[in-house]
Amino acid sequence: MSPMLTIAKREFRSYFDSPLAYVVMCLTFLLLGLAFFMYGGGFWQIDRASLQLLFEYTPVGLSVLVVPVVTMRLIAEEKRSGTLEMLITLPVNDSDVILGKYLGALGLVMALVVATALYPIAMFGWPWNLGVLDTGPVWAGYVGLTLFSAAAVAIGLLVSTLTESQAVAFFITFFVLLILWFAEAAANQVSGGLGDLLTHVCFQSRLEGFTRGLIDTRDVVFFLSVTVVALMVAFRALERRKWS
């Protein structure tokens, strides 16, 4: 197994050695359930066989809770405790460390995303059948969620690379993702170039298409670019220790 996958495996497994992963998962599902079925009448109010709400609420939960919690310790904790030195002086490239950590964290987030498939399965398959579900938007929604998760985790990892404190990493990731989520709402308040920019980088509006079953290449490229850029900056940030 390559060093990168070994690191990813260790990272993924270590989430389950602490109560953190369990607490985050339970909380996310509880909140998602409440929001989906209860908030403003929820699913019942719409009165259609649609999972649009699922794809609207899940990314919010991921942004404000799951991704900041899951990514906050990735590099920050290793720096604080000194284990980073132990890890990097093994025969691994810095890129193995970044990608391994990234895949480990993304694995956990994706496990959560996949677990939300319980909604369509339980509601429109077995044991309940609440109507005929148009599966196209559901698949597109999951493609969107996957791309969104990839970008959000990369941002969280980048932030974790820049600090030694998990708490700082959590709050910065939390605010960055929150701002990116509500960027379009903010864009309406400002005019000119800044407003355009905010509209462009808004995660919420980028995901809208997927939720409606529309996979737009521009949105796909957007999320992939964010992911790649964040990972590259994280790599550079990790490498900087050598020269500082």
Partner 1 sequence: MTTDVMISASGLTKKFGSVRALDNVSFEVRRGEVVGFLGPNGAGKSTTMRILTCFIAPTAGSAKVAGRDVFEDPLGVRRGVGYLPQRAPLYGDMSVQEYLKFTAEIRGLDDHTFSRRLGKVIEVCGLAQTLGKQISHLSHGYRQRVGLGQALIHDPPILILDEPTSDLDPNEKAEVLRYIDEIGKDRTILLSTHNLAEVEQSCARAIIVSKGRVVADGPLDDIRGKTGHVRYLVTVDEQHGESGHAPPKAIELETALAGLAGARAVNELPTDERAHRFELATDQAGDLRAEIFRLMVAKGWTLLELRRDAQSLDTVFRELTRGEQRLDAGRSAEVDEDDDVDDVDDEPEADSADTEDKE
| Residues at the contact surface with partner 1, assessed by CB under 8 A | 1, 3, 6-7, 10, 14, 17-18, 79, 81-83, 85-86, 88-93, 241-244
Decide if 148 contacts 223 (C-beta within 8 A).
yes
**Alpha carbon of residue 20 to chain centroid:** 16
Q: How far apart are CA 210 and CA 140, in angstroms?
A: 5
**Nearer to partner 1 (CB atom), residue 100 or residue 141:** 100
**Nearer to partner 1 (CB atom), residue 91 or residue 193:** 91
Handedness of CA 19, 22, 23, 24 (dihedral sign): positive
**Nearer to partner 1 (CB atom), residue 77 or residue 208:** 77
Decide if 56 contacts 211 (C-beta within 8 A).
yes
In the complex, what is the shortest distance from the CB of residue 121 to partner 1, in angstroms, rounded to a whole number?
33
Site of tokens 């990972």: 231
**Nearer to partner 1 (CB atom), residue 38 or residue 90:** 90
In the complex, what is the shortest distance from the CB of residue 80 to partner 1, in angstroms, rounded to a whole number?
10
**Nearer to partner 1 (CB atom), residue 19 or residue 40:** 19
Decide if 99 contacts 105 (C-beta within 8 A).
no
Which residues fall within 8 angstroms of residue 80, CB to CB, at 6 or more apart?
164, 165, 166
φ, ψ dihedrals at 3, nearest 5°: -55, -35
In the complex, what is the shortest distance from the CB of residue 73 to partner 1, in angstroms, rounded to a whole number?
11
**Nearer to partner 1 (CB atom), residue 64 or residue 92:** 92
In the complex, what is the shortest distance from the CB of residue 20 to partner 1, in angstroms, rounded to a whole number?
11
**SS3 annotation, 169-202:** HHHHHHHHHHHHHCHHHHHCCCCCHHHHHHHHHC
In the complex, what is the shortest distance from the CB of residue 105 to partner 1, in angstroms, rounded to a whole number?
15
In the complex, what is the shortest distance from the CB of residue 3 to partner 1, in angstroms, rounded to a whole number?
5
